[in-house]
Structure 1
Amino acid sequence: MAKITREEALHYHASGRPGKIEVIPTKPYSTQIDLSLAYTPGVAEPCLEIQKNPEDAYRYTAKCNLVAVISNGTAVLGLGDIGALAGKPVMEGKGLLFKVFADVDVFDIEVNEKDPEKFIQIVKAIAPTFGGINLEDIKAPECFEIEERLKKELDIPVFHDDQHGTAIISLAGLLNALEVTGKPIDKIRLVVNGAGAAAVSCTKLYIKLGVKKENVIMLDSKGVLRKDRTDLNQSKREFAQDVPFSTLAEAMKGADVFLGLSVGKVVTQDMIRSMAPNPIVFAMANPVPEISYEEATEARPDLIMATGRSDYPNQINNVLGFPFIFRGALDVKASAINDEMKIAAAYALASLAKEEVPASVLAAYQLNELKFGRDYIIPKPLDPRLIIRVAPAVAKAAMETGVARTAITDWEAYRQALKTRMEHLHNFSKQSPA
């Protein structure tokens, strides 16, 4: 992982025009006629059409390609509850990733409101502007209620990336790791260290794909979620088990899969040694994993390991998901991002990892070879094929499950349009001033 100094980070954000995103016109504006069409009097015509048929907002406005990245700053990366304004650089960064990976436009919206009900009402009030909403960095358990309510009460996709992005990407890696090791998904014993938003969402998605709930042991900072504990909230009680042990070391004995979404350096080599043959370890605490790659592989050479870091094999990175998931959802004007769309994205990612890796990707990572196996179970974020694999898979799932407002009929033409779109975007960015 590249070492970035405090001074470099601050200079990056402050140099030139402060921040990381801007608004650019998409229509001509150099003549009087252009301005009369863009604003008064010409702008009245699309307004009247939208008044008659609200769906025409997708035809006449940027709603069709606009996502809100909304946060109250209560759970910002590893920084915690730093407040809405202090979280703005993160939300702008998310907007940059949406744009450069999938040409999705973003308004970042920082809401100074911690009360879930008030936050929900604020988001509902501004929702008509957008084709989708990405909830970001909202602490658990409030994030569960906020997302669930907004999904029910709005007719556009609402997606809490901290939950579902991690779940989708890690599921893709898990499917491939199970294939490499020959472990059936319905037979594995899973230990989940962490009981926050991402851990709960990951576990629910894995169960939907075949993991047996009775084979899941989840832990929080106080130990195993046992049924005799009286301090568990509703989301934790769902995964409480009637077991005779309480510690991570005890839970790890004989486990097939470890999913870490907690804090660094809580897993020892002895714990790894106690796992089942061909163990799968996803140690995703950032920036320090639950156990280092070097320690884990030394303890168990037969292990498959993934982390959230770019300097180790098998990086579980949410940027593999959210830009392309929203791209597919927006392109069919979806009213939701449902489980079928999430699973379709995971399968598309898993499938891509089995294909030959282009030379351009190898060059980007200064590698001579990447081949499906223990050290390559998930695609690299800079793989240009991601958008033409994941977005169509998501769009197709939206159509098949009845949440798409429009249909794509020529999939090859759609994939080509995505390639052209990204080429145009990157050519434009090269011409733009620094």
Structure 2
Amino acid sequence: MTDAKRQAALDYHALPTPGKLSVELTTPAQTQEDLSLAYSPGVAEPVREIAKDPETAYLYTGKGNLVAVISDGSAILGLGNLGPLASKPVMEGKSLLFKRFADINSVDIEVDAPSPEQFIQTVSNIANTFGGINLEDIKAPECFHIEEALIERCQVPVFHDDQHGTAIVTVAGMLNALEIQGKQIENARIVCLGAGAAATACCKLLLAAGARKEQITMLDSRGVIHSGRTDINAYKGEWARDTDMRTLDDAIDGADVFLGVSGPDLLSAEQLAKMAARPIVFACSNPNPEIAPELAHRTRDDLIMATGRSDYPNQVNNVLCFPFIFRGALDVRAVRINEAMKLAAIEAIRKIAHLPVPDSVRAGYGGIELSFGSEYILPKPTDPRLLPEVAAAVARAAVDSGAARLPYPEHYPLAAL
């Protein structure tokens, strides 16, 4: 980042008021009567109602439209374990995106917990005051146990966006890329470079979308995860294959898909050249991908490529998912975000990319041509159809799969914000 950009980022967070969030009032607070209703003595009445029936908290408080964005700061973006307080700008930013894209109120919470169990206990103790919990920037493998435990303990949806938001958007884009390249997911040979939270969630959701486990080869920093290795944890062990392949060179030969969620410059031009005809490359490491797009396109003129960056086509961006999946979940009071809801979100996102792009979206990208094809496999984050389409698909899936406590909303589909 240039010095000018760095200063602009610091100024954005400091000026005109430090931070990116504030509290707004939703009821009048001007007169003595207003104040007596807002607090004592009037506030005692909803207190009594909630004590009699906890469900009335959705009627008398903001719980139903409130998500907690929670982190321990152990895996902040690509910066590493910098602690809870350093993660606060990221959590505030996540809350900003919830409000901007889905009109969901959000509170950022940074937990200083020396162990996963203490983190789990802290979050489970406060979870019921929120409509949902978004976990963020928690390192692997602890993040797997933390999310599993909180889903079990909490009565509101818990969603680790680094896992599932990434996976939903990745699979949506990959299904569209496979369609364009004339390939079927059940026959695709997939190489996943990376074995952390995002990689594991992506591969699980690829299986749910039709991929075959024997066609997926996962690698960590020590090479192929195979059945002969004794240095892997249980989460990696789920992906161990009986294979003679040991290196990326071995695995990439003839592969249809490369999924990179690891680090910069780890896929060489020579390795890319060994992939099958019409390859698909998702190089999602940020800020620098596993292979530079310029090098990739020079090496192969038949590929489709996606990255995590906004300055290249086909950005894999979680904001295409998490605001809208929570919107749908909150509006039917889902108790969890299950696989059916994730698959519904995938299908809604990928379908939007097939549709003509609104002029308002194109104008925000300099009026460039955007139409379904090799450089447009995912909708843009500003596409106004994401809110009504994804939220509706998720809400319907929640109802149909038994995860919802309310029926499909009568006011759906939503109008764009």
Q: Same fold (TM over 0.5)?
A: yes
1:290 aligned partner, one-letter code? E
Aligned to 2:246: 246
Aligned to 1:195: 195
Q: Residue 367 of structure 1 aligns to a residue in which SS? A: coil
Aligned to 2:16: 16
Judge conservation of contact 2:128–2:155 (CA < 8 Å) in 1.
Answer: no
Residue 366 (1) aligns with residue 330 (2): no
Aligned to 1:220: 220
2:196 aligned partner, one-letter code? G
- Separation in 1 of the partners of 2:147 and 2:24? 30
- Separation in 2 of the partners of 1:3 and 1:336? 44
Aligned to 1:102: 102
Aligned to 1:282: 282
Judge conservation of contact 1:74–1:114 (CA < 8 Å) in 2.
Answer: no
The alpha-carbon deviation at position 322 of structure 1 amounts to 0.4
Residue 132 (1) aligns with residue 136 (2): no
Pairs within 5 Å for 1:229-378: 229-378=229-378
Q: Residue 86 of structure 1 aligns to a residue in which SS? A: helix
Aligned to 2:412: 414
- Separation in 1 of the partners of 2:50 and 2:401? 27
Structure 1 vs Structure 2 CA RMSD:
1.3
2:412 aligned partner, one-letter code? Y
Per-residue Cα deviation, 1:126-164 (whole angstroms, up to 9, x for no partner)? 112100000000000000000001101111000000000
The alpha-carbon deviation at position 246 of structure 1 amounts to 1.3
Residue 393 (1) aligns with residue 393 (2): yes
Judge conservation of contact 1:362–1:370 (CA < 8 Å) in 2.
Answer: yes
Change (3 A) 1:117 1:343: same
Per-residue Cα deviation, 1:53-73 (whole angstroms, up to 9, x for no partner)? 111111110000000000000
Change (3 A) 1:384 1:3: farther
Normalised to the residue count of structure 1, the TM-score between the two structures is 0.94
Per-residue Cα deviation, 1:165-200 (whole angstroms, up to 9, x for no partner)? 000000100111111112111111000000000000
Per-residue Cα deviation, 1:90-126 (whole angstroms, up to 9, x for no partner)? 1001111111011111110000013111111100111
The alpha-carbon deviation at position 369 of structure 1 amounts to 1.2
Give the length in aligned residue pairs.
417
The alpha-carbon deviation at position 415 of structure 1 amounts to 2.3
The alpha-carbon deviation at position 15 of structure 1 amounts to 1.2
Percent of aligned pairs sharing the same letter: 58
Q: Residue 353 of structure 1 aligns to a residue in which SS? A: helix
Aligned to 1:111: 111
Change (3 A) 1:31 1:2: farther
Aligned to 2:33: 33
Runs of 4+ in 1 over 3 A off after TM superposition: 1-4
- Separation in 1 of the partners of 2:82 and 2:44? 42
Pairs within 5 Å for 1:150-161: 150-161=150-161
- Separation in 2 of the partners of 1:196 and 1:208? 19
Change (3 A) 1:414 1:307: same
- Separation in 2 of the partners of 1:293 and 1:90? 27
Per-residue Cα deviation, 1:299-327 (whole angstroms, up to 9, x for no partner)? 11110110001111100000101011111
1:54 aligned partner, one-letter code? P
Judge conservation of contact 1:354–1:372 (CA < 8 Å) in 2.
Answer: yes
The alpha-carbon deviation at position 245 of structure 1 amounts to 2.2
- Separation in 1 of the partners of 2:400 and 2:114? 37
Structure 2 gaps, min length 5: none
Normalised to the residue count of structure 2, the TM-score between the two structures is 0.98
- Separation in 2 of the partners of 1:368 and 1:188? 32
Q: Residue 5 of structure 1 aligns to a residue in which SS? A: helix
1:146 aligned partner, one-letter code? I
The alpha-carbon deviation at position 4 of structure 1 amounts to 6.0
